Amino acid sequence: MPVGADGFRLPNVNESQFKNKLECLTGPGQNEHCCTFVINGEDHTLGNALKHFIVQNPAVEFCGYTVPHPMERKIHIRIQTWDTPAVEVLHQALKDLKKQNEAVKKLIQDEVKRYQEAHPQQDLEK
List residues near other proteins by CB under 8 A. Answer: 2, 10, 12-15, 20-22, 24, 39, 42-46, 48-49, 51-52, 55-60, 87-88, 90-92, 94-105, 107-109, 111-112, 114-116, 119, 121, 124-126
To other proteins, the closest distance from the beta carbon of 115 in angstroms equals 5
**Per-residue DSSP letters for the chain?**
--B-TTSSBPPPTTS--SS-SEEE--STT-SSSEEEEEEET--HHHHHHHHHHHHT-TTEEEEEEE-S-TTS-EEEEEEEESSS-HHHHHHHHHHHHHHHHHHHHHHHHHHHHHHHHHS-------
To other proteins, the closest distance from the beta carbon of 104 in angstroms equals 6
Residue (36 or 90) nearer to other proteins, CB: 90
To other proteins, the closest distance from the beta carbon of 68 in angstroms equals 18
